[in-house]
Amino acid sequence: MYVSRLALQNWRNFKQAEGAFGARTFIIGPNASGKSNLLDALRFLRDVAAIGLRQSVLDKRGGVSALRCLAATYRSDVQIEVTLVEDDGPDAGAGWRYRLAFNKDHRQEQPVIRCERVWHGEELLVERPNEEDRSDPERLTQTYLEQINANRGFRELAEFFRSIAYRHPVPEVIRDPKGFSSAPVINDPYGRDFLQRLWQTPQRTREARLRRINQVLQVAVPQFRELRVEQDETGTPHLVGLYEHWRPNAARQSEAQFSDGTLRLLGLLWALLEDGGPLLLEEPELSLHAAVVAQLPGLFERARRRKGGGRQVIVTTHSEDLLRDPGIAAEEVLWLRPTAQGTLIHQPGDKERLLMQQGMSAADAVLPLSRPDGAEQLALALAPS
């Protein structure tokens, strides 16, 4: 199952926007156009299903006012609607659609549900507010999605949202996780628990994944021979990299000596090999050589097709090298266009589709659409007067 459509109303940069997603999607746009906020809409649904509406809005995102689009008018409800489809095949069942709209209680500043609906195929399973909500308004501070006793009829949907993963490995965090948080962290997108996740993976699974990762690192990293995960005397797991050396025994390095690019690539590869729902990746090209970046779309596709279909991959990027992959279709690209009334989500038009059908890459046909107006004037700002 994967996300096929996402519609947003008054969500951060997006006053009214809608985008279609495939099993692999690349999102482009100028700086501050809302690429991260588009991914955050899916992360928000994951958080609501996992920890509830109140914590997702207040504790994680600073309240309804911080979420609401600055271009919002008298219709100020924040709304997210997502459509899910089953994997392609003759046995594919009916898809799901979930809509959640909320605003804030002006007395307590907490989020209050304005609308919650769930469809399975054409059947409407949940419609709120209902009579019970109207007789007890306090119920509207919790979604049915987050309540085990209320989501029995659509628990598959809640489990899917909880399976969404966002990964943006930061080399400095992987090297020194305690320097960024002394308390233990679980499922951190930036890598504070990355080494623990590796070590806690069942040994056979971990070794199988490391063998695949070794094959990539041996090509991407000069003199690299083997990657291992070992525990020190305190029980703390560490990466151990063996490198070809003029001495008989290979040189050893830990994660503290790994380059930013090596750690970044390792984090991305591990995320691709993990099981789960949609994988959200933000600018995976960071710290990587252009030749490696050019191979990422192929890696995404091969990892996605693992185990008969794999997981959906949604990527934001600025990289020409990544988008130059000839296997990227026009249907796999979304581009964001900022306007005075909020950011709009577009798919390539007929002209761009025709260019790509004739052999032009997304880097040449679509990426120029996201170029900021007047970009050539940037250097003049620092020119001596």
250 pLDDT higher than 50: yes
Q: Are 336 and 218 in the same domain? A: no
Q: Which one of 228, 251, 275 terminates a domain?
A: 275
What secondary structure letter does DSSP report for 111?
A: E
> How much is the average pLDDT of 229-236?
90
pLDDT at 106: 79
* Apex 288 CA angle, 283 and 291, nearest 5: 110
> How much is the average pLDDT of 329-346?
96
Band (pLDDT 50/70/90 cuts) for residue 92 is low
CATH number, position 95 = 3.40.50
CA atoms of 301 and 311, how far apart (whole Å): 10
CA torsion through residues 372, 378, 380, 381, sign: positive
Q: Are 145 and 256 in the same domain? A: no
**For residue 297, is it within any domain?**
no
**For residue 210, is it within any domain?**
yes
Helix (H, G, I), strand (E, B) or coil at 26: strand
Q: Are 241 and 360 in the same domain? A: no
pLDDT tens digits, one per residue of 256-289? 999 999 999 999 999 999 989 999 999 999 999 9
pLDDT at 88: 54
User: How would you class 246 by CB atoms within 10 Å of its CB: exposed for 0-12, middle for 13-18, buried for 19 or more?
Assistant: exposed
pLDDT at 309: 60
Q: Are 190 and 234 in the same domain? A: yes
> How much is the average pLDDT of 45-74?
95
CA atoms of 349 and 354, how far apart (whole Å): 9
Q: Specify the higher pLDDT residue, 258 or 108.
A: 258
Q: Are 243 and 194 in the same domain? A: yes
> How much is the average pLDDT of 141-163?
96
Give the total number of structural domains in the chain: 2
pLDDT at 306: 72
> How much is the average pLDDT of 323-336?
97
Q: Are 178 and 154 in the same domain? A: no
pLDDT at 248: 59
Q: Are 137 and 228 in the same domain? A: no
Work out the percent of the chain whose per-residue pLDDT is above 70.
Answer: 96
Judge whether 312 and 304 are in contact, CB under 8 Å.
yes
> How much is the average pLDDT of 100-113?
91
**Complete DSSP assignment for 237-248:** EEEEEEE--SSS
Separation of CA 50 from chain center: 16
CA atoms of 156 and 166, how far apart (whole Å): 20
177 pLDDT higher than 90: no
Q: Which one of 256, 275, 294 terminates a domain?
A: 275
**For residue 10, is it within any domain?**
yes
CA atoms of 282 and 169, how far apart (whole Å): 9
- CA Rg, the chain, in Å? 23
**Complete DSSP assignment for 307-339:** HHH---EEEE---HHHHT-TT--GGGEEEEE--
**For residue 304, is it within any domain?**
no
**For residue 293, is it within any domain?**
no
pLDDT at 246: 57
**For residue 95, is it within any domain?**
yes
**For residue 280, is it within any domain?**
no
CA atoms of 10 and 15, how far apart (whole Å): 4
89 pLDDT higher than 60: no
Q: Are 364 and 331 in the same domain? A: yes
Give the predicted TM-score (pTM) of the model.
0.93
Could you tell me which residues come within 8 angstroms of residue 334 by beta carbon, excluding any fewer than 6 positions away? 19, 20, 21, 25, 26, 27, 28, 345, 346, 347
User: Over the chain, what is the mean pLDDT?
Assistant: 92
179 pLDDT higher than 70: yes
Q: Are 195 and 317 in the same domain? A: no
Q: Are 225 and 338 in the same domain? A: no
pLDDT tens digits, one per residue of 180-221? 877 778 889 999 999 999 999 999 999 999 999 999 999 999
Q: Are 151 and 255 in the same domain? A: no
CA atoms of 273 and 299, how far apart (whole Å): 10
* Apex 190 CA angle, 206 and 318, nearest 5: 110
Domain of residue 63: give its range: 1-164+312-373
139 pLDDT higher than 90: yes
Work out the percent of the chain whose per-residue pLDDT is above 90.
Answer: 80
Tokens 């490696």 correspond to: 292
Judge whether 99 and 114 are in contact, CB under 8 Å.
no
Helix (H, G, I), strand (E, B) or coil at 225: strand
What secondary structure letter does DSSP report for 33?
A: S
Tokens 């007890």 correspond to: 136
Could you tell me which residues come within 8 angstroms of residue 301 by beta carbon, excluding any fewer than 6 positions away? 24, 327
pLDDT at 90: 44
What secondary structure letter does DSSP report for 95?
A: -
Q: Are 181 and 150 in the same domain? A: no
Band (pLDDT 50/70/90 cuts) for residue 379 is confident
**For residue 158, is it within any domain?**
yes
Of 61-65, 206-210, 283-287, 306-310, least confident by mean pLDDT is 306-310
CA atoms of 296 and 322, how far apart (whole Å): 7
Judge whether 117 and 98 are in contact, CB under 8 Å.
yes
38 pLDDT higher than 80: yes
